[in-house]
Chains A and B, each alone.
Chain A
Amino acid sequence: DSGVTQTPKHLITATGQRVTLRCSPRSGDLSVYWYQQSLDQGLQFLIQYYNGEERAKGNILERFSAQQFPDLHSELNLSSLELGDSALYFCASSVRGGRDTEAFFGQGTRLTVV
């Protein structure tokens, strides 16, 4: 158990809908990262938050947004969903100043858009 919790584990929704994925980082971790992994694809970096502030942005679509709350949990909002958004979405957390690039991943949310 990495200590990172993601909910829900599975989500099936229709095209055009909006969903929210939730992530609770490990206790004490200030950084939260979101990644998208499509079938047989690598981990595509979406966005990173550090202590409530957006820290870095990747190739995140305008239909996607995220935030990190004062209690450090994070939510990823996906709207106007398309079939191509079907993927595994991972959240990871790390301690800034800890061992570099050691991040702890949640079990992911598998999103299926039908």
Chain B
Amino acid sequence: GQSLEQPSEVTAVEGAIVQINCTYQTSGFYGLSWYQQHDGGAPTFLSYNALDGLEETGRFSSFLSRSDSYGYLLLQELQMKDSASYFCAVRDGGDDKIIFGKGTRLHILP
């Protein structure tokens, strides 16, 4: 089976940097993705890592270590609009379903 573990909540200050971790167990691994979801909204795709290392997209970066079955999402220069839930996700190796972690709610303090 597959499982993804991530913290349920993280709190950070506006302008600071925050890291959201995700560890995973899958039967077949292709890559790790991150999604953002604002309250009442739809999840939106942020990033995808198939290879080890850091991928940067503006203020957001995502990291993967395949040997450690671990990844993280790094958010820099936090803004109040970044207050949302963040989900890591993997595609199941046996079929095509996309499995999500339970999500990390990011609280940003002014």
Which single member of A42, A103, A107 contacts B98 (CB below 8 Å)?
A: A103
Which single member of A42, A43, A96, A100 contacts B31 (CB below 8 Å)?
A: A100
Q: Mark A100-111, 1 if CB is under 8 A from B, else 0.
A: 111111111000
Q: How many residues of A contact B (CB 8 A)?
A: 27
Distance, CA A104 to CA B97, complexed state (A): 14
Distance, CA A45 to CA B102, complexed state (A): 11
Point out the residues of chain A lying under 8 angstroms from B89, CB to CB.
Answer: 101
B101 touches A100 (CB 8 A): no
Distance, CA A42 to CA B102, complexed state (A): 4
Which range contains the number of B residues in contact with the other chain? 20 to 34
Distance, CA A35 to CA B87, complexed state (A): 14
Q: Whole-angstrom distance from the CB of B8 to the nearest CB of chain A?
A: 9
Point out the residues of chain B lying under 8 angstroms from A90, CB to CB.
Answer: 42-43
Chain A residues near B (Cβ < 8 Å): 2, 31, 33, 35, 41-43, 45, 48, 50, 55-56, 58, 90, 92, 94, 96, 99-108
For the complex with contacts A42-B103, A55-B96, A58-B97, 17 further pairs of A-B residues with Cβ separation under 8 Å are: A35-B100, A42-B100, A42-B101, A42-B102, A45-B100, A50-B96, A55-B95, A56-B95, A56-B96, A56-B97, A90-B42, A90-B43, A96-B96, A100-B50, A100-B91, A103-B98, A105-B44
